[in-house]
């Protein structure tokens, strides 16, 4: 047991509609309310697509569930950046958090370590709490380079933003081979990498390393959340598919509350 407060975050990815989101939020509100005081011990967050952020924030109201975005522009303020969304804008529509460097953005939209680090800095500069995603592909794991890949991804943010900046965000370890595949990392596999990440940061600052929350992501569901969250360095989850079902998400929150 550690003193870090667990977080369960839902990454809705490119799913949803006004009607589906309203039903999901209603289900979350009811489900979380039925858990009662247990949820006080867990931070909860949902990350809908940009266009639904304001509506979802409004629907969540005083439920205690925070709202985050899935991406932001590396530039802050306003400017001629067609198609981009600045951190200030996300704040204005109710976001407190933002995911940066998700593996889908790295793989499909060409985001490299340097751009991810700039986005991390932009999030902090605009008052958002960044959730930095790191993780290796199956090929990289099979080649024995998991540690090297994760270290490179973490180091890039330390190099650009400084280690203190890491203390102002969260990290999500999401092995690419476990995302959307139904193939979850075993609790031991997750623990190994989470401990490695914490150790890497401890080389710079042991206090930040000890207080930083490291979430696990990759096929987290109600059925496996409890054993994952029981690991000493796993501080909750970043949940994709299962976050689109209110009952599943609520059960995952309950698993983090024990």
Q: Report, as residue numbers or ranges, the catalytic residues.
A: 102, 174
Interatomic CA distance for residues 225 and 220, integer angstroms: 6
Q: How far is CA 50 from the centre of its chain?
A: 16
User: What residues have CB less than 8 Å from 170, skipping those under 6 apart?
Assistant: 7, 129, 130, 131, 132, 212, 213, 214, 215, 235
Position among 6, 7, 11, 256 found at the interface with ligand 13P (CB under 6 A): 11
> How long a stretch of residues is the chain?
258
SS3 237: strand
* Distance in Å, CB of 218 to ligand 13P, minimum: 5
* Distance in Å, CB of 238 to ligand 13P, minimum: 5
Question: Candidates 61-69, 119-127, 144-152, 211-219 — which segment interacts with ligand 13P by CB under 6 A?
Answer: 211-219
Interatomic CA distance for residues 200 and 131, integer angstroms: 17
Would you say 201 and 244 are in contact if contact means Cβ atoms under 8 Å apart?
A: no
Residues numbered 177 to 196 that lie near ligand 13P (CB under 6 A) are 179-180
Specify the residue, 179 or 231, whose C-beta has the smaller distance to ligand 13P: 179
Residue 174 in the binding site for ligand 13P (CB under 6 A): yes
Specify the residue, 31 or 175, whose C-beta has the smaller distance to ligand 13P: 175
Would you say 256 and 236 are in contact if contact means Cβ atoms under 8 Å apart?
A: yes
Judged by CB under 6 A, how many residues of this single chain contact ligand 13P? 14
Annotate each residue in 216-245 with x if it binds ligand 13P (CB under 6 A) or - if it does not, as one string. -xxxx-----------------xxxxx---
Residues numbered 113 to 142 that lie near ligand 13P (CB under 6 A) are none
* Distance in Å, CB of 152 to ligand 13P, minimum: 20
Interatomic CA distance for residues 163 and 26, integer angstroms: 39
In the complex, the residues that contact ligand 13P under the rule CB under 6 A are 11, 102, 174, 179-180, 217-220, 238-242
């Amino acid at each position: 047991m550690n003193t870090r407060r667990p977080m369960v975050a839902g990454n809705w990815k490119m799913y949803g509609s006004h009607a589906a989101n309203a039903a999901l939020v209603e289900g979350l509100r009811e489900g979380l309310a039925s858990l009662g005081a247990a949820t006080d011990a867990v931070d909860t967050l949902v990350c809908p697509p940009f266009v639904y952020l304001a509506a979802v924030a409004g629907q969540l109201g005083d439920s205690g569930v925070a709202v985050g975005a899935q991406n932001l522009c590396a530039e802050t303020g306003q400017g001629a950046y067609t198609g981009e969304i600045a951190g200030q804008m996300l704040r204005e529509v109710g976001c407190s958090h933002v995911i940066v460097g998700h593996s889908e953005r790295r793989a499909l939209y060409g985001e490299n370590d340097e751009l991810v680090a700039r986005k991390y800095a932009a999030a902090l500069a605009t008052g958002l709490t960044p959730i930095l995603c790191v993780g290796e592909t199956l090929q990289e794991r099979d080649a024995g380079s998991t540690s090297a890949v994760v270290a490179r991804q973490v180091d890039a943010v330390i190099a650009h933003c400084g280690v203190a900046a890491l203390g102002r965000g969260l990290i999500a370890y999401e092995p690419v081979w476990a995302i959307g595949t139904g193939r979850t990392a075993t609790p031991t596999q997750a623990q190994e990498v989470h401990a490695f990440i914490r150790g890497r940061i401890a080389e710079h600052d042991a206090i930040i390393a000890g207080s930083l929350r490291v979430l696990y992501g990759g096929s987290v569901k109600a059925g496996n959340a409890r054993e994952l969250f029981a690991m000493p360095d796993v501080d909750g989850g970043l949940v994709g598919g299962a976050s689109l079902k209110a009952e599943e998400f609520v059960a995952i929150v309950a698993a983090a509350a024990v």
